[in-house]
Amino acid sequence: VQLQASGGGLVQAGGSLRLSCASSEGTFTVYSMGWFRQVPGKEREFVSYITRFGGSTYYADSVKERFTISRDNAKNTAYLQMNNLKPEDTAVYFCAAVKGIYSGRMVRDASVYDYWGQGTQVTVSS
């Protein structure tokens, strides 16, 4: 499975971006999808997760009420809508796919995921 993340860029604080993660996998619905982010010198951090058909979503506390994860299975694409961006959201954002459905603490564990995209840079200026 190849994942292609896009949509990053430079935005002012309070602005919005929408990240996309396109999958080469025809059976996209086999995979639950996650978004993580990473800044230099720190571990990859969980951002959000969505189950195979979008029935359940999870968010890190730091992005709740500001970010929305979604997916369009007809387009084999997952999205992360980011609103009210803050300078501390600056990071490289990665999408990831995991076969099946997980819940709770496991969705926040990067080692659970089977496939990763290449990352897209998000920079929020103050």
Query: What is the structure's pLDDT at 26?
Result: 77
Query: CA 28, CA 34: separation in Å to the nearest integer?
Result: 13
Query: What is the structure's pLDDT at 14?
Result: 98
pLDDT tens-place string over residues 84-105: 999 999 999 999 999 988 888 8
Given a cut of 90, whether residue 79 has pLDDT beyond it is: yes
Residues 6+ apart with CB under 8 A from 2: 23, 24, 25, 115
What percent of the chain shows pLDDT beyond 90? 90
Query: What is the structure's pLDDT at 105?
Result: 85
Query: What is the structure's pLDDT at 27?
Result: 87
pLDDT tens-place string over residues 36-73: 999 999 999 999 999 999 999 999 999 999 999 999 99
